[in-house]
Amino acid sequence: FGIAKDTASITRTFDGNSVVGSVQYISPEQASGGTVGAESDLYSVGIMLYEMLIGEPPFEGDNSVQIALKHINEPLTPPMEKDPTISPALSDVIVKATAKQLSVRYSSAEEMKSDLIRALREPENRFAYVEDPVGKENRKKDKPEGGSGTKLWHIILPVALMVALVVGMFFIWYFSIYGNRGKDTLVKVPNVLEKTLAEATELLRNREFEVRFAGTVADSEYPRGTVCKQSPAGGKKYEKGTEVEIWLSSGSETVSMQSLTGMTLDEAEPILEALNIRIRAISYEQSDAEDGTIIHQSIPEGTEIVPDEENDPISLVISGVQGVTLVPMPDLSRVTTVGGINQILDVYGVANRRFRFSMETKGGSGASGSQLVSSQTPAPGIPFLPSETKVEIWLYAEYGRLCSSDVSFELPINRDGTSVEVVLEAPFGNFLLYEDVLDSSGSALIEFTAGFMYEGEYDCVVYRNGNEVMRFSTIFTKRK
């Protein structure tokens, strides 16, 4: 380049009193009054690169003279020893550019540019590594005549300002043309997860990446038809033109619906529960198949089912005659709401049902936190006639202790052994609150504290020996 020399061929950087300009970037030959050239410019660039990476110049001192002497005598500490995140290749380029000996340094900006670009592509390669033995000439201190140091000052001052100007101009010129080329080729990969194929392709191509559709995979986390996986991942920097593979979600994993033909209801229920399919309706049809077995299903065998999603309900046809054919009692222990229990019993056609509160607690039975039913009659799997059988469901005691109401009434008793029941009628079912057998005649005062699940006013019916004899309403409030 030759830009380290001014037009008047001034090569001294000190006058007798001070150093002028940015001495932090001065080359050893400039500081010592030697001949300067392209290598001197590249030395200054290397020092500036060092400062850009580390955040401070490599040489500091109390004054400009001390800094200049350090440029002459002290070896530069490799940047990667100051900051381990700096790649060995880039560190070596800077060490080579700032070598004390001219013969070790880069001889041209083109050579240094080539190594800088290569360092970005091969960050762990030590291709630019050099040994820079500091010779005796480099380590000798110029002794000022008469011990005053004025000779060194006279050497530096004349061109210090020019050096600062030239270095600044070189920095602007060099890096505007070459300095960012390596960096420009590294682009952050955008995150295209949950984008459609068209959206993902547009985003990636706008960043100058190649796009390859790699296929579909089952994934419940991302909607069907959106990107669920990409490689390389978003957020990382890669060369422009790098191929990014993307996979689209086919939705949750599917399984094939199996045939339920020949199964009884209690055999089919666990299968349907695992597939997240509820029974919509049960009907009966006479056939040659064994009574109580399934002869038809509304969801055909082989239909793809997504167990993780709520699927369409299924209708089943049972071999037999309604009101005559026995079917197994469904297991209600896994149902966690009264509404869910009613829904199942409706499907089976159970008309006579009643809820009551057990004396058993969930804590005592080891039941889970969401479990509702402690027992039932008939028991699960027992054959029964839904239209004829009275079904009773016992709920854990905790549910009957949430709210309470004090109940008191008089009831005429005609004979000993009179059974008395008090039943609460709620929109979601009938709940037995009280039952007893009274061995007296005349009028009996019945008093008790009723427990229920919910607050509010409810109608209650009193049955004597199975017959309704009176009604009243009572208000339930939360227990304190």
> What is the per-residue pLDDT for 2?
38
Amino acid, single-letter form, for residue 81:
E
The answer to pTM > 0.85 is: no
Ordered structural domains, the chain, with CATH? 23-183 (1.10.510.10), 186-249 (3.30.10.20), 256-398 (3.30.10.20), 402-478 (2.60.40.2560)
Q: Give the model's pLDDT for residue 155.
A: 38
| pLDDT mean for each 10 residues of the chain (480 residues) | 37 43 82 84 92 91 88 91 91 93 88 89 86 52 42 39 51 54 73 92 92 86 89 91 90 86 91 89 93 94 83 92 90 91 93 93 74 93 92 93 94 88 95 92 90 95 95 92
State residue 152's pLDDT score: 39
SS (H, E, C) the chain: CCCCCCCCCCCCCECCCCECCCHHHCCHHHHCCCCCCHHHHHHHHHHHHHHHHHCCCCCCCCCHHHHHHHHHHCCCCCHHHHCCCCCHHHHHHHHHHCCCCCCCCCCCHHHHHHHHHHHHHCCCCCCCCCCCCCCHHHHCCCCCHHHCCHHHHHHHHHHHHHHHHHHHHHHHHHHHHHHCHHHHCEEECCCCCCCEHHHHHHHHHHCCCEEEEEEEECCCCCCCCEEEEEECCCCCEEECCCEEEEEEECCCCCEECCCCCCCEHHHHHHHHHHCCCCEEEEEEECCCCCCCEEEEECCCCCCEECCCCCCCCEEEEEECCCCCCCEECCCCCCCCCHHHHHHHHHHHCCCCEEEEECCCCHHHHCCCCCCCEEEEECCCCCEECCCCCCEEEEECHHHHHCEEEEEEEEEEECCCCEEEEEEEEECCEEEEEEEEEECCCEEEEEEEEEEECCCEEEEEEEEECCEEEEEEEEEEEECC
Question: For position 300, what pLDDT does the model report?
Answer: 92
Q: Are 83 and 56 in contact (CB under 8 A)?
A: no
pLDDT at position 479:
82
pLDDT at 92: 93
**What's the pLDDT tens digit per position in 429-472?**
999 999 999 987 788 999 999 999 999 999 999 999 999 999 99
> Would you state the pLDDT for residue 96?
94
- Provide the pLDDT for residue 334: 87
